[in-house]
Amino acid sequence: MTNPTATATAVNPVLRVAPASPAEAAAHFRASLAFHADVSDVAAALAAGGDPGFVVVDSRSTESWDQGHVPGAIHLPTALIPEQAEQFLDKSVPVVTYCWGPGCNGATRAALALAELGYRVKEMLGGFEYWAREGFEFETWQGRERRVPDPLTAPVDADNCGC
């Protein structure tokens, strides 16, 4: 009798490398959640009112910040973190960083810089791009705006994506 997994992995590029054990997978995904926050979860926590228990940091340039940013976010470009973080952030309050979007690693670099300075930090997956695409309100130098949600990114039920 042949091993069906061995046959499948020889032909199937998805299974070319066997999946991790359930325990290894659980550890990996638990760790991932310790490092990442979802745009919808950040928006829900901020919209709930009161202290969300974290501060949001926009690590983009001033020009990008002016185009739009998460309401209440702190503007702290990545390059300025080493010299300015202590002016704006309290090490006892977790930080959620974001940059433009999934094609940019600016939020990752900002999170690394903050972690190296002793801050507890998560990266907001999707960045400002998905914040705007999901239809959440954002601020510009002209005031607050909101775009129509992109049906390919925004949940059908605005209060619950089902995941």
Owner of token pair 């990266």: 123
pLDDT: is 8 or 19 the higher one?
19
CA separation for the pair 37, 40 (Å, rounded): 9
Residue extents of the structural domains in the chain: 37-145
Map residue 58 onto helix, strand or coil. Answer: strand
Average pLDDT over residues 118-144: 96
Q: What is the pTM of this model?
A: 0.86
Q: In terms of Cα–Cα distance, which of 43, 29, 3 is closest to 127? A: 43
- Exposure string for 84-99, b = 16+ CB within 10 A, e = fewer: ebeeebeeeebbbbbb
Q: 37-145 has which CATH code?
A: 3.40.250.10
pLDDT digit string, tens, across residues 130-139: 999 999 999 9
Average pLDDT over residues 139-149: 92
CA separation for the pair 67, 145 (Å, rounded): 11
